[in-house]
Structure 1
Amino acid sequence: MLRLAGARLLDERDGQAVRAVLTADPVASCMVASRVESVGLDPWRLGGEVWGCDVRDLRGLRGGRLDALCFAGPNLIPLRGKRSAMRAFADRALRRRRMCSSMVGPAEQVLGLWAELAADWGPAREVRADQPLMAIRSTPLVTPDPLVRPVRPDELDRYLPAAVRMFVEEVGVDPCLGDGGTGYRARVAELIAAGRAFARFEGGEVVFKAEIGALSSAVGQIQGVWVHPDRRGHGFGGTGTAAVVQRLVSGMGRTASLYVNGYNAPARAVYDRIGFTQVGQYATVLF
């Protein structure tokens, strides 16, 4: 007889099983896959832990596959698992104080895990239950803006104010609070150094910006799409995002993906015109 074992910390001995889960849904798992592919499963190098639940027989022997997977770090990202697995992940999460700033991932798992954690971790600042996960694997249908390009390291101080404004608009919190913006500045500088921050500058000011927030061997996840308020309604969001898609699909050989709030009809219309199609459903819980 088989039973689902409790959540346990995974290590390199579980590498093959973890990668099988990540490969099974490369778009949904991009955020976790990008980390695991780069540094493996060691928590110190990963900046978090990967938890799993697997099927074992009554003698306690491992069944050889992971039926549930969750990353616990700056974000809590449950990727696979039924209700019993979410309960097991919640039990493990509650053994320590909350470290994550959000929960994000496939809606079924995020909302299921939140149902187990809400009594202890709630109330949430916001629950975004409807976030279509979208992807495009071909050339964009919108002509890319030729003036959108990778941001240079020496342009950090010009790019950063736009990144902060985007973060405040999207998340509702100033990323400069707490440490004066040191951590956020370092993260943005890291993306720029990696060639994953893109912008159109006019007169030294950012008109459009976007980043490839996570990059696995198969998928690049676009984040932080933003157009200067004075230039909205002029098509910069579509042509700029198309430029980043073009870089991912044609330049890097990846699928381009992103997720968007379901209530953001204008953004969804832009992504539809570019050629994105919905491939899943995400949810986010913000603390």
Structure 2
Amino acid sequence: MPLWSPSASPEGKISRATGGRVRVLTGDDTRALHDLLDNDPVGNTSVAAALQHRGTAGLGKGRQGAMLLGIDAEPREGTDRPLASACWLGSNIIPVGADPASAEQFGRAASALRRRVSSIYGRSEAVLALFEATGWSNHREVRADQPLMVMYQEPQMSPLPGVRRSRPEEFDAVEQACAAMFTEELGFSPYDHGASQYRDRIRGLIHAGHSLIAVDSETRQITFKAEFGSVTPQAVQVQGVWVNPRWRGRGMAAPGMAAVVNYGLRLAPRVSLYVNAYNTPAVRAYERVGFQHAGTYSTVLF
């Protein structure tokens, strides 16, 4: 075999694994991908934000750059080639508009590429079908039941006083709070997947105004924090909600989230999040704020 052949390229591997049903998207598919994402702005916030940042559905930079896969729909007269479903494939895998059958094809494509990923997440039915099709067994955990919740209007309850955007000079304290939340939530350190990338991500959130905190006036410790992990003109997705253990049990979570929603609605008409169903106190707090259920996510952690 020569050193390179079409069958050894990512496109060739994907085509062979899926019988030609899945293809790698190009810049020419950008408009069609936007149209597909617009069908579910709450469920697709993270991919829509990534596409907004990249500006194209084409391949990312480098050998391990993120790519977008797609399955074509039947063409409609007078329109560009439409997409029936798509899938973000980078350090995370996120199916878009996929039913179980198309998610299975994306799982076969991902398996053929043999890339390391941190997680698979998104709408539950598609995620679980995709994961099963990969045949991967090196996962840490499957969180199959994660309510996806959304708000369209300001909360009726009073927000937690003092919640504000964090400042660049507060980076060290914000990083410590973020790392504590991550480790508590996932059971391993965020630095396991690259300390510099994790810190860059936190700096980016702070500089974008997407990191929110409340600080105790006496101890100067962060008592509450949350971030807007993904932001588009149509929706923002909240992540990293955390109450400092020293201040838990004081009813801060719901009013803290009320403040977060108020900030989020300045950026987009929808504020969403997803949460583990077994975290009953968090689910109830979000419901008190006014969040409504909008389906179910699943996450597979590696």
Q: TM-score, normalised by structure 1?
A: 0.91
**Residue 75 (structure 1) aligns with:** 92
**Residue 164 (structure 1) aligns with:** 179
**Does structure 1 residue 53 correspond to structure 2 residue 68?**
no
Amino acid at match of 1:109: A
How many residue pairs match? The answer is 276
**Residue 227 (structure 1) aligns with:** 243
C-alpha distance in 2, partners of 1:139/1:178? 36
Contact kept in structure 2, 1:5 and 1:53, CA below 8 Å: no
Deviations 1:76-123 (A, max 9, x none): 001222333223212221222232100000001000101111x3x214
Contact kept in structure 1, 2:105 and 2:133, CA below 8 Å: no
**Residue 114 (structure 1) aligns with:** 131
Contact kept in structure 1, 2:100 and 2:125, CA below 8 Å: no
**Does structure 1 residue 37 correspond to structure 2 residue 37?**
no
- Aligned match for 1:215, one of 224, 231, 251: 231
* Segment drifting more, 266-275 vs 6-15: 6-15
Contact kept in structure 1, 2:155 and 2:261, CA below 8 Å: yes
C-alpha distance in 2, partners of 1:56/1:275? 40
User: 1:281 deviation in Å?
Assistant: 0.9
Stretches of structure 1 lacking an aligned partner (at least 5 in a row)? none
Aligned ranges 1:252-271 → 2 under 5 Å? 252-271=267-286
Stretches of structure 2 lacking an aligned partner (at least 5 in a row)? 1-18
Whose strand fraction is larger, Structure 1's or Structure 2's? Answer: 1
Contact kept in structure 2, 1:131 and 1:281, CA below 8 Å: yes
Change (3 A) 1:42 1:270: same
Aligned with 2:183: secondary structure? Answer: helix
C-alpha distance in 2, partners of 1:184/1:273? 32
Give the share of equivalent positions with the same residue, in percent: 38
**Residue 105 (structure 2) aligns with:** 88
Aligned with 2:238: secondary structure? Answer: strand
**Residue 167 (structure 2) aligns with:** 152
- Aligned match for 1:28, one of 34, 43, 46: 43
C-alpha distance in 2, partners of 1:23/1:56? 18
Amino acid at match of 1:232: R
Aligned with 1:70: secondary structure? Answer: strand
C-alpha distance in 2, partners of 1:160/1:82? 38
Q: TM-score, normalised by structure 2?
A: 0.86
**Residue 7 (structure 1) aligns with:** 22
Deviations 1:258-283 (A, max 9, x none): 00101111001000000000011100
Deviations 1:189-231 (A, max 9, x none): 1110110001011122110010000001110000000001111
Two-structure CA RMSD over aligned residues (Å): 2.0
Contact kept in structure 1, 2:106 and 2:130, CA below 8 Å: yes
C-alpha distance in 2, partners of 1:5/1:142? 53
Aligned with 1:52: secondary structure? Answer: strand
